Amino acid sequence: MKQILLVTGRSGSGKTSTLQVLEDLGFYTIDNLPLSLVPEIVSKLSADQAMDQLALGLDIRSLQPEQVSIEDVLNALRKIGAVDVLYLTAREEVLVARYASSRRPHPLAHRYETLTECIRVEEDLLYSVYRRATMTIDTSNKTVHELRHTLSVKLGQGDKLIVILQSFGFKHGVPLDADYVFDLRHLINPHWDNTLRSNTGLDKQVQEFLASDDTVNAMYDDIYQFLEKWLPIFSQGHRHFITVSLGCTGGQHRSVYFVDRLEKALKAKWSVQVLHREMKHWS
């Protein structure tokens, strides 16, 4: 996993909105996990799915009380991927106004009498997390659009379109989140070669087998030229990401090969993320 982002901060400072923006920017997001379960769940997600970016929302209820420290969790996550801590904050009067507007109780309301006391105590309780933040954003005066821009800049993405290349198997269903689906089932199938059946489209033997076929190369060229032509136009339309799904029968050979080949061709110009949906089914 290339990037793990822990999103936390003062309640009312915009964690939910931030996670929604991060999802639009291509992150897989999970909210309100108990801190002690974070390393185990992230490790499982990293093993089961080929995802590049994960954002986890943690609020004061997730962080207090815990038998594990934030430092222990960060050390465990660093063994899986690059870790950042995004700390959200806002001025006290802004937080008070937001709670008055939403009429929702503060997470510590059951322990303290006034909202102001809840806000100040929470800030003290979060200090150990704040000290470890690699990014801090003050949302006091930010609209959602400004928050999106700030996150894009801080995460180093700018406004560049994110291209998600997804391999899948038709026998497991067509992905509902795809913007474009390409059917590769008419191409030669390495599955019927006993020496290749247990391999995947990431293996050299399968890649050489498929690359030697003229029909495979013609199909690849057509898909690449389509993306080469239209991705700049999609980007000008202020889209933040586009999902291109490539499917074969089982999602192990042809579709995986095409995703890998397209990623290598496109990553010089675009921010590319790869998802092999059927990885758990690979023999």
Binding residues for GTP: 59-62
Could you list the residues known to form a binding site for ATP, using ranges.
9-16
Q: Could you tell me the two tokens for 84?
A: 């950042």
Nearest-angstrom CA–CA distance, 225 and 217:
12
Concatenate the DSSP letters of all residues of 183-230 into one string: E-TTS--GGGSTTTTT--TTSHHHHHHHHT-HHHHHHHHHHHHHHHHH
The binding site comprises: 9-16, 59-62
Question: DSSP letter string over 123-180?
Answer: HHHTHHHHTT-SEEEE-TT--HHHHHHHHHHHTT-TTPPEEEEEEEEGGG---TT-SE
Structure tokens at 242: 């586009």
Measure the CA angle with vertex 245, ends 243 and 247; round to 5°.
175
Asked if 201 and 167 count as a contact pair (C-beta separation under 8 A), the reply is yes
Q: Which run of H or of E encompasses 54?
A: strand 53-57
Q: Are the beta carbons of 179 and 258 closer than 8 angstroms?
A: no
What single-letter amino acid sits at 140?
S
Q: Minimal CA–CA distance to 282: which of 168, 176, 128, 181?
A: 168
**Cα 185 to Cα 249: distance, rounded to the nearest angstrom:** 6
Token representation of residue 65: 């009380």
